[in-house]
Amino acid sequence: MSSNSNFAKCFIVLYRWRLHPGSEASFVEAWSRVSDVLRSERGSLGSRLHRGDDGLWYSYAQWPGVTARDDAFALGPVDSAAGQSMKDAIAERLPEIVLECTADFLLPIDHGSRA
């Protein structure tokens, strides 16, 4: 069995937050706006947002490399209003974790069909 060869090209950052109770919907909306702009205008390869059963929220963001990520954020705020909404929703921000891909068996998501 062999894995997808794209794993050698990926640079992943895992973000983690604890949110203020009741702020989840505004956080998801703001995170979605920021992530959409990062993907459509600043070179991100996309991201996913997850709610953990431990009460934390996790975002998994993929970039072509560390330079692409650094360049994207060097341009300044992605969306000031959305960024502020995210900050207002966050009760605790945990340190970023950089992940190195060693194997990749994720399938692309077909956004045209929802199960």
In a domain? residue 60 = yes
More confident residue, 61 or 106: 61
In a domain? residue 41 = yes
In a domain? residue 112 = no
- For position 113, what pLDDT does the model report? 56
**Full domain range(s) for residue 52:** 5-100
In a domain? residue 50 = yes
In a domain? residue 40 = yes
Number of C-alpha atoms within 13 angstroms, CB side, residue 3? 10
| Distance, CA of 61 to CA of 47 (rounded, Å) | 4
Query: How many structural domains are present in the chain?
Result: 1
pLDDT at 114 > cutoff 60:
no
- DSSP lists the bridge partners of residue 99 as 12
Q: Are 25 and 8 in contact (CB under 8 A)?
A: no
- For position 81, what pLDDT does the model report? 97
Q: Please return the burial class of 106, using the count of CB atoms within 10 Å of its CB with bins 0-12, 13-18 and 19+.
A: exposed
pLDDT at 19 > cutoff 80:
yes
Closest CA to 16 of 90, 91, 93: 93
Q: Quick one: average pLDDT of 103-111?
A: 76
Domain CATH number, residue 73? 3.30.70.100
Which residues, 6+ apart, have CB-to-CB distance to 115 below 8 Å? none
Q: Quick one: average pLDDT of 77-85?
A: 95
Q: What pTM, to 2 d.p., does this model score?
A: 0.84
In a domain? residue 110 = no
In a domain? residue 115 = no
In a domain? residue 66 = yes
Q: What is the mean pLDDT of the chain?
A: 89
